[in-house]
């Protein structure tokens, strides 16, 4: 997804929004499958950057997987995969509303009203 951001959303909670325990943000603690998103959630203030550091070897899933509308599976570069690799997200650009719905679904919370 050229021009987009690959986002991981973790199930971990920290003592505050500005002090995450970076060591606990690992791929086995994802709340939902990775997704592609544009910069809009940051520019509107829905997302907050709390750290900026180089990606370490253990920070990423061994294989990214995204399901296309036609049932094929791709990695983050758009290369075809043999089949699904969990966690498998959707191939496409997500909106901040889709992120909100995904978090609500993963936590068993009601969706935000339209």
pLDDT class of 92 with cuts at 50, 70, 90: very high
What is the percent of the chain where pLDDT is above 90? 75
Evaluate the CA torsion angle 94, 107, 53, 61 in order and state its sign. Answer: negative
Arithmetic mean of pLDDT, 30-55: 91
**Which residues have a Cβ under 8 Å from the Cβ of 71 and sit 6 or more positions away?**
none
pLDDT at 100: 94
pTM, entire model: 0.90
Asked if residue 86 is part of any domain, the answer here is yes
12 and 29 Cβ atoms separated by less than 8 Å? yes
75 and 67 Cβ atoms separated by less than 8 Å? no
Range of 34's domain? 5-107
Distance CA 33, CA 43 (A): 23
What is the percent of the chain where pLDDT is above 70? 99
89 and 111 Cβ atoms separated by less than 8 Å? no
Asked if residue 76 is part of any domain, the answer here is yes
91 and 98 Cβ atoms separated by less than 8 Å? no
pLDDT at 18: 72
Arithmetic mean of pLDDT, 8-19: 82
Does residue 19 register a pLDDT over 80? no
Number of C-alpha atoms within 13 angstroms, CB side, residue 47?
Answer: 18
Number of domains in the chain: 1
Asked if residue 114 is part of any domain, the answer here is no
């Amino acid at each position: 997804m050229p021009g987009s951001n690959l986002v991981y959303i973790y199930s971990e909670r920290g003592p505050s929004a500005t002090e995450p325990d970076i060591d606990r943000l690992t791929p086995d603690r994802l709340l939902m499958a990775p997704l592609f998103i544009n910069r809009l959630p940051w520019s509107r203030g829905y997302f907050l950057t709390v750290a900026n550091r180089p990606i370490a070897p253990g920070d990423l899933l061994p294989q990214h997987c995204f399901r296309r509308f036609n049932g094929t599976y791709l990695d983050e570069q758009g290369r075809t995969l043999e089949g699904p690799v969990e966690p498998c997200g959707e191939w496409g650009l997500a909106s901040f509303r889709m992120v909100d719905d995904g978090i609500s679904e993963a936590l068993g919370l009601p969706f935000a009203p339209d």
